[in-house]
């Protein structure tokens, strides 16, 4: 059977396809539309659907809309507590009620009667619990909001979800973090990771005060009382310089978030006795909190859905429907579920663009040589990543041994200088260099302590707090990137390469060859590797 999953109601619209028990494709709409996050999370944008992503998922599988057996829409308007007519939330609900008709219009031939509503947090839970590498586990979802709750705690047994707790709105850890994000001059529902990065520069001196207004209730839930953030730090306008007061507020909120999550997972462990925990929801993208949960929490293993935010509910909805129809799918093979291109297609793009290029006999050695020479490499390989992290498919690569490369890459991307860049390392070498976090760590969803004797050798990837958000590379799963790492070490003695997303500030990650060429042409990147082809800036502009 064929199941299409759709996320559209808030932000990060996405589509995913499950066919005959196999996850075939998943992608965010932003990769096609080139609008960051696909759309803003406003009630009057709720009608917008991931039309391009859904159409691509079908093409990838050679299907038409008529072939789909069922569609999961990851929001159930019947669960919404109705508000007075004219309220923006009422408009969002009306759009959700009409979603089947909207989908039939966007995908001609689709029967609107095939559309099923999957509760938002159930879809989140399925994206983790049914996609995880194990069949039985505890599951925790935390984000901004769903229909009427902001959190779900439960467990999966034999593919069936048992919900043990759910926190009613307006109490929300995700919305609380969004409020702080906006107060600090960043874009809410978008820039929360900047608050996490800023927190490392501050002291949690407001932690006691926040414990009074953000606290657990002992029954698997929590409370977030109204907070006047201006008591702790003056509100910042976008782009305004921040001070230690702002960093201290970020550090305090981050610390309290971690404490509350720890209390929630301890309660969940007591109720389930499970050894393994799967996490989803936007809060699960907080890699600092994830590491603390693993380090201090009761679970032996934690798996985080790489598309943990709302985009992941497209996959979760499809998995939930497949399970309910008796065709369980999963586990998730990896995050490379988006668009890919053949060598011939990539070469044709370069020919049409009249861009000089070469095809090295040993691509890994050629790229390692460029990196060893301290050149920045735009790396475009295989199928695009599903989720917000660059995982070796659409990446910017650089030498980690030069501290200036942190500032250099932030300049290339046009982003704040306090933000860290990440290391990529062979899985077999990770424990020599990085501690505390889990290994393997293929999705960049945990932070690791950098061993002191290595910190001075790879300063570009060490954050101010001595940590790094690593990605481990398995030669079995990513053989070409593994060879680049080995060749780079042979030249430099460093088994680590900088990996950050291939995009510039405010733009979605590069997805197709045109995006890659545009990014290369408009930013100070030295080398573009497009599949087997190498494009060098000097050769392009000399011609």
Q: What pLDDT is recorded for position 90?
A: 87
How sure is the predictor about 541, in pLDDT bands with cuts at 50, 70 and 90?
A: low
Give the pair of three-digit tokens for residue 179.
Answer: 């409020």
How sure is the predictor about 86, in pLDDT bands with cuts at 50, 70 and 90?
A: low
**Average predicted confidence (pLDDT) for the chain:** 96
Task: Confirm whether pTM is higher than 0.85.
Answer: yes
The answer to whether residues 1 and 327 touch, using CB atoms and an 8 Å cutoff, is yes
Residue 6 and residue 528: Cα distance in Å, rounded? 33
pLDDT of residue 85 exceeding 70: no
Give the pair of three-digit tokens for residue 224.
Answer: 């977030």
* Integer Rg of the chain from CA: 23
Q: What pLDDT is recorded for position 330?
A: 83
Domains, the chain, with CATH or none: 2-122+311-325 (3.30.420.40), 132-304 (3.30.420.40), 339-541 (3.90.870.20)
Burial label, 239 (beta-carbon count in 10 A; 0-12, 13-18, 19+): exposed
pLDDT of residue 48 exceeding 60: yes
Q: What pLDDT is recorded for position 84?
A: 59
pLDDT of residue 88 exceeding 90: no
Side-chain half-sphere CA neighbours of 444 within 13 A: 26
Query: 425, 407, 389, 395: which is closest to 497 by C-alpha?
Result: 425
Structure letter (DSSP) for residue 67: G
Q: CB under 8 Å to 541, separation ≥6 — which residues? A: none
* List of long-range contacts for 217-221, beta carbons under 8 Å, 24+ apart: 218/267, 219/165, 219/267, 220/153, 220/164, 220/165, 220/264, 220/267, 220/268, 220/271, 221/151, 221/165, 221/166, 221/167, 221/168, 221/171
pLDDT of residue 543 exceeding 60: no
Q: What pLDDT is recorded for position 368?
A: 98
Query: Which of the pair, 357 or 44, is modelled with greater confidence?
Result: 357
pLDDT of residue 136 exceeding 90: yes
What is the mean pLDDT of the segment spanning 155-183?
A: 97
pLDDT of residue 198 exceeding 80: yes
Question: Burial code of 431-440, b = ≥16 C-beta within 10 A, e = fewer?
Answer: eebbeebbbe
> DSSP secondary structure string, 247-311?
HHHHHHHHHHHHHHHHHHHHHHHHHH--SEEEEESGGGG-HHHHHHHHHHSS-SEEEE-TT-STT
pLDDT tens for each residue of 287-323: 999 999 999 999 999 999 999 999 999 999 999 999 9
The answer to whether residues 349 and 510 touch, using CB atoms and an 8 Å cutoff, is no
Which residues are known to be catalytic?
11
Give the pair of three-digit tokens for residue 454.
Answer: 């290595």
pLDDT tens for each residue of 409-446: 999 998 899 999 999 999 999 999 999 999 999 999 99
């Amino acid at each position: 059977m064929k199941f299409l999953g759709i996320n559209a109601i808030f932000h990060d619209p996405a589509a995913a396809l499950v066919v005959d028990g196999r996850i075939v494709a998943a992608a965010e709409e932003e990769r096609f539309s080139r609008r960051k996050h696909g759309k803003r999370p406003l009630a009057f944008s709720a009608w917008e659907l991931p039309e391009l992503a859904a159409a691509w998922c079908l093409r990838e599988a050679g299907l038409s809309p008529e072939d789909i057996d069922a569609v999961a829409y990851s929001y159930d308007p019947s669960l919404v507590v109705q508000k007075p007519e004219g309220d923006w939330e009422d408009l969002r609900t009306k759009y959700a009620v009409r979603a089947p008709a909207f989908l039939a219009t966007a995908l001609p031939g689709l029967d609107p009667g095939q559309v099923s509503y999957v509760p938002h947090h159930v879809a989140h839970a399925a994206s983790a619990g049914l996609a995880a590498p194990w069949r039985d586990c505890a599951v925790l979802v935390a984000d901004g909001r769903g229909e009427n709750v902001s959190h779900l705690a439960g467990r999966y047994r034999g593919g069936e979800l048992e919900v043990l707790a759910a926190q009613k709105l307006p109490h929300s850890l995700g919305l609380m973090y969004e409020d702080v994000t906006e107060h600090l001059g960043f874009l809410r529902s978008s820039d929360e990771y900047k608050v996490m990065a800023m927190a490392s520069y501050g002291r949690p001196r407001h932690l006691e005060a926040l414990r009074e207004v953000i606290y657990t209730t002992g029954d698997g839930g929590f409370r977030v009382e109204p907070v006047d953030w201006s008591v702790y730090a003056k509100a910042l306008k976008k782009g305004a310089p921040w001070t230690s007061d702002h960093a201290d507020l970020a550090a305090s909120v981050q610390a309290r978030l971690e404490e509350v999550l720890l209390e929630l997972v301890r309660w969940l462990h007591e109720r389930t006795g499970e050894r393994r925990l799967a996490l989803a929801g936007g809060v699960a993208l907080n890699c600092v909190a994830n590491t603390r949960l693993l380090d201090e929490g009761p679970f032996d293993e934690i798996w985080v859905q790489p598309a943990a935010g709302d985009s992941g509910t497209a996959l979760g909805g499809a998995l939930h429907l497949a399970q309910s129809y008796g065709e369980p799918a999963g586990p998730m093979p990896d995050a490379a579920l988006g668009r890919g291109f053949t060598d011939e297609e990539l070469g044709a793009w370069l020919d049409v663009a009249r861009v000089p290029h070469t095809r090295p006999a040993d691509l890994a050695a050629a790229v390692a040589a460029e990196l060893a020479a301290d050149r920045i490499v735009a790396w475009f390989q295989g199928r695009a990543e599903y989720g917000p992290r660059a995982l070796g498919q659409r990446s910017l690569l650089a030498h980690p041994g030069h501290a200036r490369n942190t500032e250099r890459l932030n300049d290339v991307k046009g982003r704040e200088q306090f933000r860290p860049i990440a290391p990529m390392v062979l899985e077999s070498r990770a424990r020599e260099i990085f501690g505390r976090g889990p290994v393997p760590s293929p999705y960049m969803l945990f932070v690791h302590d950098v061993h002191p004797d290595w910190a001075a050798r790879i300063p570009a990837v060490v954050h101010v707090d001595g940590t790094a958000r690593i990605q481990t590379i398995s030669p079995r799963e990513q053989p070409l990137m593994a060879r680049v790492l080995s060749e780079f070490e042979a030249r430099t003695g460093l088994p680590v390469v900088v990996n950050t997303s291939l995009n510039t500030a405010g733009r979605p990650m590069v997805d197709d060859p045109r995006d890659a060429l545009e990014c290369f042409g408009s930013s100070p990147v030295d080398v573009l590797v497009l599949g087997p082809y190498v494009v060098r800036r000097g050769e392009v502009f000399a011609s």
